[in-house]
Amino acid sequence: MIEAIVRFSIARRYLLLSLILLLVAAGLWSYQRLPIDAVPDITNVQVQINTEAPGYSPLEAEQRITFPVETALYGLPKLKYTRSLSRYGLSQVTVVFEDGTDIYFARNLLNERLNAIKNTLPAGLEPQMGPIATGLGEIFVYTVSAKPGATDTAGNALDAMFLREVQDWIIKPQLAQVAGVVEVNTIGGYDKQYHVLPDPLKMLTFGVSMPQLAEALRNNNSNRGAGYIERNGQQLLVRSPGQLGSISSIEQVVVALNGTVPVRVKDIAEVALGKELRTGAATRDGEETVMGTVMMLMGENSRTVARGAAQKLEAIKASLPEGVIVEAVYDRTTLVDKTIATVQKNLLEGALLVIVVLFVLLGNIRAALITAAVIPLAMLATITGMVQQGVSANLMSLGALDFGLIVDGAVIIVENCMRRLGLAQQQQGGSLALRQRLEVVFSATMEVIKPSLFGVAIITVVYIPIFALTGVEGKMFHPMAATVVMALLAAMVLSVTLVPAAVAVFMGGKISEHEGRVMRAGKSLYRPLLKGVLKLRALVLLAATALVAACLWLASTLGSEFIPQLDEGDIALHAMRITGTGLEQSVQMQEILEQRIKQFPEVAKVFAKIGTPEVATDPMPPNVADNFVILKPRSEWPNPRKSKAQLVAEMAAALEQLPGNNYEFTQPIQMRFNELISGVRADVGVKVFGDDLDTLLRLANSISQLTGSISGAQDVAVEQVSGLPVLSVNPKLTALARYGLTLAAFQDLIAMAIGGEDVGLIYEGDRRFQLVVRLPEAIRTDIDNLNYLPIPTATGYVPLHEVASLAMQSAPAQISRENGKRRVVVSVNVRERDLGGFVTELKQRISTDITLPAGYWLDYGGTFEQLQSASKRLSIVVPITLLLILGLLVLAFNSLKDALIIFSGVPLALTGGVLALWLRDMPLSISAGVGFIALSGVAVLNGLVLVSFIRQLWQAYGDLAYAVVEGAITRLRPVLMTALVASLGFVPMALNTGTGAEVQRPLATVVIGGIISATVLTLLVLPVLYQWLHSKDKRPAVEGTT
Amino acid sequence: MKNILLFSLLTLPALLFTSAIAGEGHKHEHTHDKHLKITSDTQAQAHAHGHEHSHTAGHNDAAGKQAEGHDDVAVIAAAMAEQVGIRVAAAAAGTIERHIPLYGELVTPPNRQAQVRARFPGMITQINVTVGQRVKRGEVLALVESNDSLRTYPLKAPIAGIVLQQFASQGEYTAGESLFAITDPSELWAELKVFPAVLDDIESGLPVHIEARSGRYDSTITHILPASGQPYVYARVTLDNSSGRFAVGERLSALVDAEIMQVALVIDNLALQEFAGQAVVFVQNGEQYRPRAVQLGRTDGRFTEVLAGLKAGERYVVANSYLIKAELEKSAAAHEH
């Protein structure tokens, strides 16, 4: 079949060349549709169900909201697990579905379930699903601020409330319409509210109570339509307006009658614009601000959406009130552009190097260009494939592409065609006839097509273990493997179709058989060397084995990391204060923190979100702030060579001076991923499930003690659940009854007095603002005098201390649940000990030493699970892969022995990779692992080319020694070429310091080091092995190979 | 022999490969200061997290020891303290003023109001005053012609005051019912309700500051008297109303100086924080701040008496003491998702 394809390609060479245009067109078309982002999306399929419950303590939120919601989710199809969080005023249930579940299907299911439980939830609370976005969704952040000294039309300074109104009613509605935007999330400033602040004394004077006031406001704030009447043929609509529209109209509302005199709102209360009790704040460069985060719909192209948002924001600026400044502070486009630039740079430099190498070694610019042409074409084909397969372009998926590796197959074919054409021309003593030329091209192609196809097939096969990874690792590396495999397949197809066709078309002229000077020098060096090692074969084999053994040991001393971290170019840091820190206190501390960060000359901007935004996509308590530090371009740094790690260390040291903050440094996208994936991030997590929080905590503490006593345990920690200070107003029931008060009335009153109660909306055109009744700020916040707050009774009043007592308590700050049960996690990291053994001992010790009360149980989780399952899978998949490669080799040669000989090139190649890592002081990582995988492929490819040729010669001449030496020398050029293009193609990556380099560097390092060793060893050890192992064999039968 | 060699060469890549990817669990890099750097992998991320937690555990121990009064110290550079607004003050003697708010209303004292009746039934022949008119004591309000004697006698004002009401007109027959109500507004009583919980703190003679519509007036509690059938008692305050700024029936709030005393050592309430389950103040020593458990006495909402734990002259943090608490407990601050 391959023969037919090659023959067809050569015969219909012009048709084939014109098909390139089609490929290019498809590639360009796909490129427009290729989702491009900086990093692969590792978010699982999840839906957040947020229920805002103002005034609910964590315990109540859990009991009244979280529990019914969780229970409603039991038995959902494709449900993986649920986890929940109950905080002050918020219940968040995160529902995680199995990977691959359609998000819209999942949301539909949830919608149905949530509808069904509406009646069981407390009145007025409505669970809402979070936006359809992933961890990559926060693509664009902007701040709304006021010019210094700017005033509104009335001459008042523009305050946070005004800015928030601008954001909510001018900016957000417009931005939300940008295609691909799913949500614009606001944080910071204050929602404008109309406040009715009654004076307790005046209410006593007029005998009016707060519920009365609220009721009056509710009943005096609506328009009513009354149908229509016809009059003289004209239709008249009838309506009765009554809606409140201004402070003065609110003041005029009649609350009660005192005798015959109406008591109006203004008689007993002050009406003013007021601030909401906010849950979150935003700061920028040390000042409070209003911040909007544009979230991208799942599956959209972040660059397009971010750019769209940026353009829209520019347009919106025209419609802003005088003095309001809107500024983008984070734009994903920057990162994506940088990523693309990195990939482009690598592609271009790699391609150039490949062309240079080909030119030097082939001595023919046309041949070099034909081979190099495979690079962009394979790239375009890959892009088409990626779009079809839904693989996004990012650092991981594009980062592992080595164009040297991709053109290997083409190199071998072009080289052989060149050699044969030159040879044929020499025999003919002039240029060849077309027919003849085509024939030569065909036979030359067929001569090497098998090893080259097998080689590419093998390189493809070695990527299979990567597909066995699951979870986060899988999501990180599947795109990479898929992209590489697609690129290789594309190159493979091109090398059997386009390459022979192009050679047939373009290599018509005189082809010098003379190899370049480089090759001649190389060969004259290689021949004596080869002959020498063939004599000392025992020594060579021993040395090779020793080298492999030494490198194995070396590999075990290298550090290791599982997943490489992509440098996003910016810094994110959590600033954490102690539980119970108030929002305003947090803002104050945040401002000082930002002022300090801003002093770093490398920092362009710093901004932060404190607490929970309007849509609780990331529900943080007020004591936690997500800081984003946007760095200047390196060229503007005082020392552009300073590493980011060093900058971060300096920053950490400087911030350590600030009192009261704790930090965790990370990166914007990474932070978001961590928030969404959540899970236990330590090696081992012992999850204690049960009902009673105190019991859970007690159990967790004893488990933590026990865990600490096991050797290898480090950083043992119990999840923090407590520490939220609470002021309890404990009602005295008998006293209440004596004064004729009901508990509910009393509680309503307290809630209304301190928390406030929404009694309606005030409309200003489209804009709507809440009308709230609550006590004036001075009275509301005065805890000392709360005891004396008059509570109205039927006959007068009674001070609060008569009917209730106040107590300061500490309450759970947060209640975490998993799969419908309360949970406390004990997490531990394991050092210098085998993780599996540790977990076994831990389980055994816990089962003997800890008795769990009925209704309590344990579960084990943590990264050890992933590691174990990854190890397990790999321990099955890797041998199978190796067998598969072996099988392919056996298929190619009909000889197990030859297959094994070629295979021996793999460990030899790996030695170079390990040495290179060691020299550059890099840990073993999956990136490096991928490098080893690619390396194995190259090594096998080289071996294949060499062995198949030696075999052909042996068959042809029957002299093993001659075949080995001549075969090796003839194949020196392709072996060197494939090796050089593959390794030089990686040189830009290995030296790169740009965005994304940290993923590519280990990979490139391994490949470069490995290829050097593989080439040397293929050229020296392989012939030795071949000769040794075949020394007693007969000359192989001719039909064994083509 | 050859085959063994070959086989071992072949198994090596498998081993190497597995150790590269899966063997990660057996070895970790573990630099403790790693959480200060951009963590290079999620693994280290977990370590960083855990690291904080280990502080937490350590902190709990420290909290235990803290009761003995050492170990916990926050070091904040002077410039930094200045910048973040940490202010200290020396502990000293001071005044504790304990105030109790009460509510009540203004009533007319019984001796300042009078109902004027005709002594003998008869005909009202003349009325000399109108409602609202100010009358002197003894001033003739009306003339009544007695039925018995048919003599006309004057009806005089029993007290000076204002004619509040007039119930009859000239020519009417009166038989002992009230004809005029006179009230003297120059002095009023504020009747403040005292509920049982604060009863012990309220006694007659205590200074009281009345908060009325027209302003604030200082006076003293005249006497305490029970209100019949009610759970509270009245604290009565006499108010001079010669200027007429108060109205009868007006609701008032009042602040009683329940206690004003000099104490040997007071601290500003802003300084008080809860730390490791105890009330503490943070004592400054150069750039070091240490929590000091204090035993507290009476408080007035602004200042609190210190019974033990702090000596006069020691410098304690007044403003932004929360920052010190946050600094000491910060290792426990983690962000759980």
Structure ipTM over 0.85, yes or no: no
The residue assigned the tokens 């009544």 is: B144
Residue in chain B nearest A206 by alpha carbon? B251
Q: Which of A92, A258, A558, A561 to mutate to test the interface with B (most CBs of B within 10 A)?
A: A561
Using a CB-CB cut-off of 8 Å, the residues of chain B touching A923 are 29
Residue in chain A nearest B23 by alpha carbon? A871
Quote helix, strand, coil % in chain A, to nearest 5: 55, 20, 25
Least CB-CB distance to A664: which of B16, B323, B335? B335
Lowest mean pLDDT segment, chosen from A51-65, A674-688, A821-835, B153-167:
A674-688
Q: Is A470 on the interface with B (CB under 8 A)?
A: no
Distance from A863 to chain B by nearest Cα, in Å? 8
E-strand ranges in B92-228 read: 92-107, 113-117, 122-127, 134-135, 140-146, 152-156, 161-166, 173-174, 178-183, 187-194, 207-212, 215-226
Using a CB-CB cut-off of 8 Å, the residues of chain B touching A871 are 18, 22-23, 25
Mean pLDDT across chain A = 85
pLDDT higher than 70, residue B56: no
Nearest Cα residue to A761 out of A224, A243, A197:
A243
pTM: 0.81
Residue in chain A nearest B22 by alpha carbon? A871
Question: What pLDDT was estimated at residue B46?
Answer: 36
Mean pLDDT of the A439-444 span: 85
Whole-number percent of chain B with pLDDT over 90 = 7
Question: What pLDDT was estimated at residue A235?
Answer: 93
Q: Is B173 on the interface with A (CB under 8 A)?
A: no
3-state DSSP call for residue B220? strand
Distance from B324 to chain A by nearest Cα, in Å? 7
pLDDT digits (tens, 9 = 90+) for B169-205: 888 888 888 889 999 888 889 999 888 888 888 888 8
At residue A952, φ and ψ (nearest 5 deg) are -60, -45
Is A870 in contact with B329 (Cβ distance < 8 A)?
no
Least CB-CB distance to A552: which of B15, B53, B325? B15
Distance from A15 to chain B by nearest Cα, in Å? 44
Nearest-angstrom CA–CA distance, B134 and B151: 27
Using a CB-CB cut-off of 8 Å, the residues of chain A touching B16 are 551-552, 555, 907, 910, 914, 932
pLDDT digits (tens, 9 = 90+) for A190-207: 989 999 999 888 888 888
Distance from A755 to chain B by nearest Cα, in Å? 22
Mean pLDDT of the A1007-1033 span: 83
Question: What pLDDT was estimated at residue B55?
Answer: 38
Question: What pLDDT was estimated at residue A1035?
Answer: 67
Enumerate the domain spans of chain A.
Answer: 1-32+363-510, 193-275+725-811, 515-566+864-1042, 684-723+815-861
Tell me the three-class secondary structure of A840-859, residue by residue: HHHHHHHHHHCCCCCCCEEE
Nearest-angstrom CA–CA distance, A1025 and A1022: 5
pLDDT higher than 60, residue A667: yes
H helix or E strand, kind and range, residue A296: strand A287-296
Lowest mean pLDDT segment, chosen from A440-454, A798-812, B7-21, B208-222:
B7-21
In this structure, CATH architecture of domain A515-566+864-1042: Up-down Bundle (1.20)
3-state DSSP call for residue B95? strand
Is A900 in contact with B10 (Cβ distance < 8 A)?
yes
Mean pLDDT of the A195-223 span: 89
Q: Is A661 on the interface with B (CB under 8 A)?
A: yes
Nearest-angstrom CA–CA distance, A187 and A608: 10
Q: Is B79 on the interface with A (CB under 8 A)?
A: no
**Which residues 194-233 of chain B have a CB within 8 Å of chain A?**
195-198, 211, 231
Is B10 in contact with A201 (Cβ distance < 8 A)?
no
Nearest-angstrom CA–CA distance, A783 and A789: 10
Q: Which of A39, A46, A547, A662 to mutate to test the interface with B (most CBs of B within 10 A)?
A: A662
Residue A82 CA to chain centroid, in angstroms?
Answer: 21
Q: Is A648 on the interface with B (CB under 8 A)?
A: yes
Nearest-angstrom CA–CA distance, A235 and A237: 7
In this structure, CATH architecture of domain B112-183: Beta Barrel (2.40)
Mean pLDDT across chain B = 77
The class level of CATH for A684-723+815-861 reads alpha beta
pLDDT digits (tens, 9 = 90+) for A948-972: 888 888 888 878 888 888 888 888 8
Domain covering A1-32+363-510 in this structure, CATH number: 1.20.1640.10
Note whether A1-32+363-510 and A684-723+815-861 share their fold.
Answer: no
Across A228-232, A357-361, A489-493, which has the greatest mean pLDDT?
A228-232
Least CB-CB distance to A201: which of B14, B17, B103? B103
Residues of chain B with CATH 2.40.50.100: 112-183
Is A788 in contact with B30 (Cβ distance < 8 A)?
no
Residue in chain A nearest B252 by alpha carbon? A201
Quote helix, strand, coil % in chain B, to nearest 5: 25, 45, 30
Q: Is A205 on the interface with B (CB under 8 A)?
A: yes
The residue assigned the tokens 């909402």 is: B301
Nearest-angstrom CA–CA distance, B335 and A623: 9
**Which residues 366-385 of chain A have a CB within 8 Å of chain B?**
none
Distance from B198 to chain A by nearest Cα, in Å? 9
Distance from A213 to chain B by nearest Cα, in Å? 19
pLDDT higher than 50, residue B47: no
Using a CB-CB cut-off of 8 Å, the residues of chain A touching B337 are 674-675, 678
pLDDT higher than 70, residue B44: no
pLDDT digits (tens, 9 = 90+) for A844-864: 999 898 888 999 999 888 777
Lowest mean pLDDT segment, chosen from A952-956, B86-90, B220-224, B315-319:
A952-956
Q: Are B319 and B87 in contact (CB under 8 A)?
A: yes
Nearest-angstrom CA–CA distance, A784 and A788: 9
Q: Is A556 on the interface with B (CB under 8 A)?
A: yes
Question: What pLDDT was estimated at residue B34?
Answer: 34
Helices A408-428 and A365-389: angle between axes, nearest 10 degrees: 150
Is A548 in contact with B12 (Cβ distance < 8 A)?
yes
Using a CB-CB cut-off of 8 Å, the residues of chain B touching A933 are 17
Checking DSSP bridges between strand A767-773 and strand A192-198, what pairing results, if any? parallel
Buried b / exposed e across A406-440, counting CB within 10 Å, b at 16+? bbbbbbbbbbbbbbbbbebbeeeeeebeeeebbeb
What sign for the dihedral angle of Cα A485, A488, A494, A497? negative
| Intra-chain end-to-end CA distance of chain A, in Å | 14
Question: What pLDDT was estimated at residue B20?
Answer: 45
Q: Are A477 and A41 in contact (CB under 8 A)?
A: no
**Which residues 285-314 of chain B have a CB within 8 Å of chain A?**
301
CB-based contacts of A535: which residues, under 8 Å, 6+ apart?
Answer: none
E-strand ranges in A19-134 read: 45-52, 79-87, 90-97, 128-129
Q: Is B322 on the interface with A (CB under 8 A)?
A: yes
**Integer CA distances (angstroms), A424 to A13, A131, A445, A470, A515, in order:** 21, 68, 14, 53, 15
Using a CB-CB cut-off of 8 Å, the residues of chain A touching B23 are 560, 871
Checking DSSP bridges between strand A815-818 and strand A757-764, what pairing results, if any? unpaired
**Neighbouring C-beta atoms of residue B61, cutoff 10 Å:** 10
Using a CB-CB cut-off of 8 Å, the residues of chain A touching B258 are none
Using a CB-CB cut-off of 8 Å, the residues of chain A touching B40 are 561, 564-565, 998
Residues of chain B with CATH 2.40.420.20: 71-96+262-332
Residue in chain B nearest A739 by alpha carbon? B231
CB-based contacts of A212: which residues, under 8 Å, 6+ apart?
Answer: A255, A256
pLDDT higher than 90, residue A458: no
Q: Is B53 on the interface with A (CB under 8 A)?
A: yes
H helix or E strand, kind and range, residue A937: helix A926-957
Q: Is B24 on the interface with A (CB under 8 A)?
A: yes
10 Å CB burial of residue A337 (0-12, 13-18, 19+) is middle
Is B195 in contact with A799 (Cβ distance < 8 A)?
yes
Question: What pLDDT was estimated at residue B6?
Answer: 46
Nearest-angstrom CA–CA distance, B266 and B92: 6
H helix or E strand, kind and range, residue B299: strand B295-299
pLDDT digits (tens, 9 = 90+) for A384-402: 999 888 888 887 787 777 7
Q: How many CB pairs under 8 A join A and B?
A: 298
User: Domain A193-275+725-811: which topology?
Assistant: 3.30.2090
CATH code 3.40.50.300 for B71-96+262-332 = no
H helix or E strand, kind and range, residue A946: helix A926-957
Question: What pLDDT was estimated at residue A659?
Answer: 85
Question: What pLDDT was estimated at residue A511?
Answer: 66
pLDDT higher than 90, residue A250: yes
CATH code 2.40.30.170 for B99-108+186-258 = yes
